[in-house]
């Protein structure tokens, strides 16, 4: 069965500095990996996804993530944080053999200081 671990429950950065949100996964098959963002009182929005194509995936709002099979990691990065990036971020894994059985990480709360 697949699972995902988000290594930090809370990350705090200053506006304009880089963002790194860490995610490790476990999967028996070829995984699909996703990052979602959730702003307060809002639903989840897909930032980016990896589905066995290019290992460096570019998403919306300047975010990107790199799939590293040897490290079983899918860390989310952004070169320069913006105040509007403050939100909860979820790393998600789904085995391609099991449609839509998506396993969510516990989430990382990103705080952006002015």
Partner 1 sequence: KAGVTQTPRYLIKTRGQQVTLSCSPISGHRSVSWYQQTPGQGLQFLFEYFSETQRNKGNFPGRFSGRQFSNSRSEMNVSTLELGDSALYLCASSLASGVSYEQYFGPGTRLTVT
| 103 in contact with partner 1 (CB under 8 A) | yes
Q: E strands within 15-99? A: 19-21, 23-26, 31-38, 44-50, 56-58, 64-68, 73-78, 87-95
Least distance (Å) between residue 19 CB and partner 1: 21
Nearer to partner 1, 81 or 105 (CB): 105
| 70 in contact with partner 1 (CB under 8 A) | no
Could you say which of 54, 56, 70, 100 contacts partner 1 (CB under 8 A)?
A: 100
| 98 in contact with partner 1 (CB under 8 A) | yes
Could you say which of 94, 108, 110, 112 contacts partner 1 (CB under 8 A)?
A: 94
* β-pairing verdict for 10-14 and 108-113: parallel
Could you say which of 20, 46, 60, 83 contacts partner 1 (CB under 8 A)?
A: 46
Structure tokens at 13: 């950065």
| Residues in a beta bridge with 90 | 36
| Residues in a beta bridge with 32 | 94
Give the footprint of partner 1 on this chain (CB under 8 A).
32, 36, 41-46, 49, 51, 90, 94, 96, 98-107
């Amino acid at each position: 069965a697949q699972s995902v671990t988000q290594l930090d429950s809370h990350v705090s950065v200053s506006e304009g500095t880089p963002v790194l949100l860490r995610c490790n996964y476990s999967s028996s098959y070829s995984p699909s990996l996703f990052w979602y963002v959730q702003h307060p009182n809002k639903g989840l929005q897909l930032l980016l996804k990896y589905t066995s194509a290019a290992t460096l995936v570019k998403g919306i709002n300047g975010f990107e993530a790199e799939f590293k099979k040897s490290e079983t990691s899918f860390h989310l990065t952004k070169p320069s944080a913006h105040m509007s990036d403050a939100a909860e971020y979820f790393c998600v894994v789904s085995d391609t053999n099991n449609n839509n059985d998506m396993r969510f990480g516990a989430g990382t709360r990103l705080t952006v200081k002015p």
